[in-house]
A and B are shown apart, each in its own frame.
Chain A
Amino acid sequence: MLALHNVGKTYPNDVRALDGVTLQVALGEIVVVVGGSGCGKSTLLRLISGLDRPTQGAISLDGTPIAAPHEQIGIVFQEPRLLPWLSVADNVAFGLEDRPRDERNGRVAMQLERVGLHDKATVWPRELSGGQAQRAALARALVMRPEVLLLDEPFSALDAFTRVDLQDHLLDLWADTRPTLLVVTHDVDEAVVLADRIVVMRPRPGRMFAEIEADLPRPRDRQSAGFDHVKRRVLAALDRSLGRAVTPEGADPKASAGAALWW
């Protein structure tokens, strides 16, 4: 269980990025955080990953306080952040250096196979496409078998086709070991595809605004009425989070679609 209690972050320049976030995420649950820019989504993930420390409140994983990077918490950033001087396989093996060679090689080979990059093991990162590089980054995090995997707008730099492909791929990988996923995104469709629960945040300072259960069967049909319903609820919550007019249920679908693009 990943638990955040009243977590806040004020940067040294007095910018309050995050305030009073209390959230509990059960093992194996997929929680997606959405919100406009400046609502502290990325700050939240950096705090949970241990890269930054909260200035108020506490974060714990299974009762252990998190104040520094933790071996059970992995993260995939918006950019792949592969190390350019290591081959793809060595990048994936980066966190396994202290394991015996056989175990390391076996786990890396298996993980590369799972993300569909087994034929790219020996190439340099510069030779990968954007989608391939992000899959390698995913493999690097997953090969550690983390209990919690954080994803910070992981597919936002990719084209629409690759993005949809990777969303499905991520769910597929999640099914392997069912880690807890905490995903930050500004793509409402992505949120509804992935999430068990969607947390809507509002900006300045970043606070939790609403929680929406996405109780849809998997795999999810992006065209189904249920999908559309959840999506509308999220969009309405996002609008309200910015103090805009409430979008009534069944409003002009074109407006919703426009808003979805805006986010």
Chain B
Amino acid sequence: MSLVGVTVTAERPVPAREANADRLVRIMRPVLGLVLPVGAALLWELAVKVGLSDGRLVPPPSRILETLIDLARTGELQRHATATILRVAAGFGLGVAAGTMMGAIAGYSMLARRLVDPTLQALRAIPSLAWIPLFILWLGIFETSKVALIAVGVFFPVYLGLMGAVMSVDRKVVEVGRIFRLSGFAMVRRILLPAVLPAYVLALRSGLGLGWMFVVAAELLGASEGLGYLLVDGQQLGKPAQIVGAIVTFAVIGKTTDWILATVAAPFLRWEDVVARN
């Protein structure tokens, strides 16, 4: 009986319902990613509500939200977030500019690569935090040293990613450019640039991720504003809700900037033949 029922359902044309189901699946896909964090937050909230924990060191989500709303209402949150975002933007810009230039040159010319790559690789091996005292001595305790540290963090993934991408451009594709007698500049614009773009976007995204890491390091070590300052302030004054609130803000802004980068790049990468598309 049930078998017959199944057969009938399958044979009946149901385009409208299928379209609806499609839409539902598309809406539900990001929701799936929220199940774990939201579930954990609700559980913790519940645990504090029923008295399983006093939530003093690990504040329940409602208190974190409350703290964030308070900070936003006084304009503090916006001020700190803006300071941090501006630092990351400046550091990211500088790091990307330098990383792109050096990466392109080192990828293109073997001479340049042999000249600068060993030095840069050695510099890369230095733990980034080791730069902080030096940068403070050289550049002062204000913005410049912080931006410089972020730029250092952004530089290396961009440099490495672009150099690798330029070096691995397919000779066969370059030959197509040569057959059509492209000049050096046209070869870069019409062959090399599009060929390295996917790897470059990836390098920019990991650079941005490191930028967000380094801004925290910079702000933890002395700042009067910024999300990192909120962290230190929360620790010194015993306000765990403020610490977690700042962390959440970091996560949201970091993820948002990464999403913006990926979204801006997406139209240029539609041609890619990748597994993820299917």
Q: A residues within 8 Å of B by Cβ?
A: 49, 51, 68-69, 71, 74-75, 77, 79, 81, 83-86, 94-95, 97, 124-126
Task: Report the separation of the CA atoms of residues A68 and B181 in the bound assembly, to the nearest whole angstrom.
Answer: 8
Are B194's CB and A74's CB within 8 A? no
Are A94's CB and B180's CB within 8 A? yes
Are B271's CB and A74's CB within 8 A? no
Q: Is the interface of B mostly helix, strand, loop or mixed?
A: helix
Minimal beta-carbon separation of A128 from chain B (angstroms):
11
Please name the residue on chain B nearest to A150 by beta carbon: B179
**Set A69, A94, A97, A126: member contacting B271, Cβ < 8 A:** A126
Are B181's CB and A81's CB within 8 A? no
Are A95's CB and B180's CB within 8 A? yes
Q: Is the interface of A mostly helix, strand, loop or mixed?
A: loop
Are A84's CB and B181's CB within 8 A? no
Q: List 22 A-B contacts (CB under 8 A).
A: A49-B179, A51-B175, A51-B179, A68-B181, A69-B178, A75-B179, A77-B172, A77-B175, A81-B172, A81-B175, A81-B176, A83-B194, A84-B272, A85-B195, A85-B271, A86-B271, A94-B176, A94-B180, A94-B190, A124-B270, A124-B273, A126-B271
| B176 partner residues in chain A, CB cutoff 8 A | 81, 83, 94
Task: Report the separation of the CA atoms of residues A108 and B180 in the bound assembly, to the nearest whole angstrom.
Answer: 16
Could you tell me how many residues of chain B have their Cβ less than 8 Å away from some Cβ of chain A?
17
Are A81's CB and B173's CB within 8 A? yes
Known: A81-B173, A85-B271, A126-B271. A69 touches B181 (CB 8 A): yes
Known: A85-B271, A124-B271. A79 touches B179 (CB 8 A): no
| A69 partner residues in chain B, CB cutoff 8 A | 178-181
| B272 partner residues in chain A, CB cutoff 8 A | 84
**Counting CB contacts under 8 A, is B96 at the interface?**
no
